[in-house]
A and B are shown apart, each in its own frame.
Chain A
Amino acid sequence: MGARLPMLLFALVMATVPLVPQMPPFWIVLLDNIGLAALVAMGLVLLTGVGGLTSFGQAAFCGFGAYTTALLTTAYGLSPWLTLPLSLIVSGVAAVLLGLVTVRLSGHYLPLGTIAWGLGLFYLFSRVGFLGRNDGISAIPPLSIGSLRMIDPGTIYYAIWTAVLIAAWLTMNLLDSRTGRAIRALRRGHIAAEAFGVHTPRAKLLVFIHAAVLAGLSGWLYAHFVRAVNPTPFGAEPGIEYLFIAVVGGAGYVWGAVLGAGIVVVLKEVLQSYLPLLLNGSGQLETIVFGILLVALLQLAPAGVWPWLISWLPWKPARKRPDASLSLPPRQRGPGLSGVLLGVDKARKQFGGVIAVNDVSFDVQAREIVALIGPNGAGKSTTFNLITGVLPATSGRVAVLGKPIHQAPPQEIVRLGISRTFQHVKLVPDMSVLENVAIGAHQRGRASALASMLRLDRADEARLLAEAARQIERVGLADQIDQPAGSLSLGQQRIVEIARALCVDPMLLLLDEPAAGLRHMEKQRLAMLLRELRDGGMSVLLVEHDMGFVMNLADRVVVLDFGVKIAEGTPEAIKTNPAVIEAYLGAGA
């Protein structure tokens, strides 16, 4: 992570700003406001920009933080430092409760749901008696350390910006970790992430809580900065404004939140103080101009201002090479490494009236390459989904080493040592090849989100990345290791998926059309790799349409047609099987 030096410089600059002689106090107030907004927006960067969960309700979490400390310091005389953890806990608990309901909402229901409770909470703040209804709570004590009372904007400035810097550091650490990769994979759908052991609802809830706690922190600071709270700053409009900030700055970039806060807060201030002078103070002119400027800014830089600025930088941050000497402990291999590894017994999947997989039975032995072939729509990918727990079987049994797994979720199945690739590549295109592959090792890591934030995960993280780098080298993509996965050709992306699957250290590898889109030489290399893996003790089950590839590679072939198994045997036997020939070429061929 090459961000340490710029961050230190930034901290240094921010620390000296209030010390500049003749600095107008008003600018300091502006900077305070920017810091407060940046904290909330930072949470949104993680939640919306990275995790893809749009929330309009962040202002309500500020409200939880602010009202908690306001109530406890005024009515019960608690010290503000004592209420800090309480404010954060209240926001966090509110996030857990709202999050448990909200993060399960799919697609567009989620942002709409957040509008709903955001507004609901706002009206609640303004109606509840002990929170002072619309008047709110005033005479909140200032923060104080010993005899230093942080009353003037120049002193609380340090509290606010220390909070911003710490939050930025924690958030960036989180993103640059095992948990961070899981969060970054959320936006691309959950199937791939879950296939490698990520608990997507848990990851979503985590970012939700993270964002809420940051908002709560901002609310706590706000309450002691303004020293009065009322419902207005916690309603729908501020909630939307925080989202502006994140989007304008560049949703997805931690520093975009700070930059966006700077742009929006300064813009609003300039408009509010200068426009009325210009046009004799008529009406809400600043709102009009602000709205128009916002739309114009989005038209100029739809991805946000921060990435636009970064693209102008002459130097690119260097990436650190993973230390390849580190290794993860290999999987405990049971004694049953001979005999049946995977048993599929009368597996059946029915979608309404369509029987996609009709009582299919076959097995995969240890150290064996089995190919599953059949014309389009034969039920091959559905069979894969039944084995890996993506779809529940309607009836039948799937067992690994004799242990039934047909009720298990994907996260448990991958833990047993079964990993897979997808027919339609499911990588995160804006993450590097290394990071994508490291998701495969997710369930072999131990570090928690909290440890990652505090940088206590480095040893664990280095081992995960080393494993990922080793698998990338093994599949022959070492030169592409730092490129964004989306920039690779489709064939290479399939190979990246194989490397990701290998990171699981699997007993059984399920490959869905691995050779599609590969050139001749690449196919040969792939076949060599798969044979090597088999000789090393791994079993492979693959779906493939390239008959030359399959017949040369597979030890055994299972043929499906319209969901029914029509043949099984060695490649030689399958080539001459009349039922197979009929399925592929039609009767009489």
Chain B
Amino acid sequence: MKISNFIWKRIWMTVPVLLGASFVSFSLLRLTPIDPAKAYLTVSNVRPTDEAVSAIRSQLGLDRPFFSQFATWLGDLLHFNFGTSFYSKLPVTEELYNRLPITAALAISSLILAVAVSIPLGLASALQKDRFIDHVCRVLAFLGSSAPQFGVAYLLIYFLSVKWDMFPLQGADSWRNYVLPAITLSFSLIATYSRLLRAGLLKGLNEPFVLYAKARGMRTFAILTRHVLRHAIRPVITAAGMNLGKLFAGSVIVEQIFGMQGMGGFFLESVFRRDYPVIQGYILIMAFIFVFGNFIADVIQTMLDPRSALEQGKVRGR
């Protein structure tokens, strides 16, 4: 199977998933124990009289049949229209779009930080297997997988912000504001990635081509970085792609702790306000990012090792 074919097939596969996701997001409003129209009126500080409720119901299209509502919702989605916020009365798309840069900057810088730190860590612990640095990395990985994110955040705040006053506590004005949240978000990823990389490198060192390179007189470090790393990094890239959505999701809590006005913090505020259109729009965008991250991971994986497209083609062609 050619790579371009694989990519097309892979894009085609996301269509039913995204359709399903938009159905889930659409159904949320229909699962509420309280009438969304009443929620709208409460948020707008209007007394929910019967006339007002029925007026809002027809304005929101809630009086129409279920599937006709779903069709309208899908049609609106194609125009990136998620409706208007109950609270601010502005289009949801605009509200989220204005806050996207902060969240995106946070998620992407965390991802870069995680990969940048875990490559040297993984290399070091593979080269020095069962020596001091390897043990340090093992402990770090263990801490990373067991410490709750908000615990890490407050630990950083306590030492680097409150005690030593190195970084600002709140806001998102300069790059210095992003340091602590990015470390918080990448902490558990560094743990996973450096262990993945270590395992991959150690496995790769047993391959015959490594023996050949050694016979040619190459140094271990050069063999590792030039030949083995290329293979060992694949699971890390897959994991990084899959974590893209998780990073955006993690920003919900981290943005709230660090007082950043991003999408995640806005989502949480909207949850407390029962601002349903914002909630629906936000989770759908998250699903898109999540699915997109997986897609990118698959594509890069295939680029690095075209055999995987072949294998997947075989499995799917059963």
Q: A and B: partners?
A: no
